[in-house]
């Protein structure tokens, strides 16, 4: 791969929450249009990695190059304005906003995002519930809303945290389809997952995170040969 296609490069990233040192030198890259997955156990530092990229942790050191720009010292909103969409693990649906207000909240950062019509076509449930209070939606609907609202903004890099967690299989399947569509549209995606079976068919490459570092990298084609790594780290 040439560096011209490189969209996100995280090098020697350390992050802290107060006194506790959570990330111990994360190193990974994501190429433009690629979908990678960060796999690992709870507490391995996957969520923190996403939060650190957006400047939501405490102190950070190291380097985060986003589309050729160093963002390690930028404020969260500046990083987001460079085209990063974030779907947090807790979904972050606002109770003081209606479903549609939640959907329209993130400001447009670039052209080329999905239109509201396209989003409602992709998630018909959200159209039906558009006037409901955000947190009155079911868990699945909230997850779709959390995904949908970052597709409108024109962000090209999507950071998706545990989107399949705690959802019915039919909804997980639906989200898988959505991610396939986004890959066709050349979005760059970082998928933080516990659910290996959800991530494996979607991700071009997988990174296994352990103790705040990358422990192993497995490309889509190496799944069979590196099965022992997955077994060792993830127990799958």
Partner 1 sequence: MSEIFGIPIQAFMGQLMLGLVNGSFYAMLSLGLAVIFGMLNIINFTHGALYMVGAFGAWLGLTYLELGYWQALLLSPICVGIFGIVIERSMLQWLYKLDHLYGLLLTFGLALVLEGLFTNIFGVSGQPYSIPDELSGAFNLGFMFLPKYRAWVIVASLVVCFVTWFVIEKTQLGAYLRAATENPKLTQAFGINVPLMVMLTYGFGAALAGFAGVLAAPAIQVSPLMGSNLIIVVFAVVVIGGMGSILGSILTGIGLGVIEGLTKVFYAEASSTVVFIIMAIVLMIRPAGLFGKEK
Helices (H) and strands (E) in the chain, counts: 9, 10
- For residue 5, what are its two tokens? 């296609």
Contact status, residue 53 vs residue 221, Cβ threshold 8 Å? no
Least Å distance between CB 164 and partner 1? 20
Measured from the CB atom, the residue of 107 and 221 that comes closer to partner 1 is 107
Quick check: 94 binds partner 1 (CB under 8 A)? Answer: yes
Quick check: 113 binds partner 1 (CB under 8 A)? Answer: no
What backbone torsions phi and psi does residue 64 show, to the nearest 5 degrees? -130, 105
DSSP class of residue 133? B
CB atoms within 10 A of CB 84: 25
Quick check: 233 binds partner 1 (CB under 8 A)? Answer: no
Quick check: 106 binds partner 1 (CB under 8 A)? Answer: yes
Strand partners, 8: 30, 66
If you compute the radius of gyration of the chain from its CA atoms, what whole number of angstroms results?
17
d(CA 197, CA 184): 20
- Binding part of the chain for partner 1, among 61-69, 84-92, 117-125, 214-222 by CB under 8 A, reads 84-92
Q: Is the dihedral of CA 37, 196, 175, 201 positive or negative?
A: positive
Quick check: 25 binds partner 1 (CB under 8 A)? Answer: no
User: Of 153, 164, 172, 189, which one interacts with partner 1 (CB under 8 A)?
Assistant: 153
- Binding part of the chain for partner 1, among 58-66, 100-108, 177-185, 194-202 by CB under 8 A, reads 100-108
Quick check: 86 binds partner 1 (CB under 8 A)? Answer: yes
Tracing tokens 């960060």 back to the chain, one arrives at 38
Q: What are the Cα distances from residue 112, in Å, to 109, 150, 155, 165, 187? A: 10, 12, 8, 29, 11
Measured from the CB atom, the residue of 114 and 150 that comes closer to partner 1 is 150
Measured from the CB atom, the residue of 76 and 195 that comes closer to partner 1 is 76
Measured from the CB atom, the residue of 97 and 178 that comes closer to partner 1 is 97
- The size of the interface with partner 1 (CB under 8 A), counted in residues, is 24
User: Of 58, 62, 92, 140, which one interacts with partner 1 (CB under 8 A)?
Assistant: 92
Least Å distance between CB 55 and partner 1? 8
Q: Which residues bind partner 1 (CB under 8 A)?
A: 54-56, 75-77, 79-81, 86, 88, 92, 94-97, 101, 104-107, 109, 150, 153
């Amino acid at each position: 791969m040439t560096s011209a296609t490189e969209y996100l490069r995280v090098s020697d990233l350390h992050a802290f929450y107060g006194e506790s040192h959570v990330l111990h030198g994360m190193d990974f890259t994501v190429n433009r249009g690629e979908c990678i997955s960060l796999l690992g156990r709870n507490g391995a530092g996957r969520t923190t990695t996403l939060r650190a990229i957006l400047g939501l942790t405490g102190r950070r050191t190291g380097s985060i190059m986003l589309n050729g720009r160093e963002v390690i010292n930028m404020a969260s909103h500046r990083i987001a304005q460079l085209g990063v969409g974030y779907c947090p693990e807790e979904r972050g649906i606002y109770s003081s906003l209606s479903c549609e207000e939640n959907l329209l909240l993130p400001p447009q950062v670039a052209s080329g995002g999905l239109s509201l019509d396209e989003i409602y076509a992709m998630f018909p449930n959200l159209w039906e519930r558009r006037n409901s209070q955000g947190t009155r939606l079911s868990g699945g609907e909230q997850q779709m809303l959390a995904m949908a609202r970052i597709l409108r903004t024109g962000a090209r890099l999507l950071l998706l945290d545990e989107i399949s967690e705690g959802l019915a299989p039919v909804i997980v399947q639906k989200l898988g389809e959505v991610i396939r569509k986004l890959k066709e549209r050349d979005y760059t995606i970082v998928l933080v997952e516990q659910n290996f079976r959800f991530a494996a068919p979607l991700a071009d490459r997988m990174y296994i995170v352990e103790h705040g570092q990358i422990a192993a990298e497995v490309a889509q084609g190496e799944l069979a040969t590196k099965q022992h790594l997955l077994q060792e780290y993830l127990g799958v």
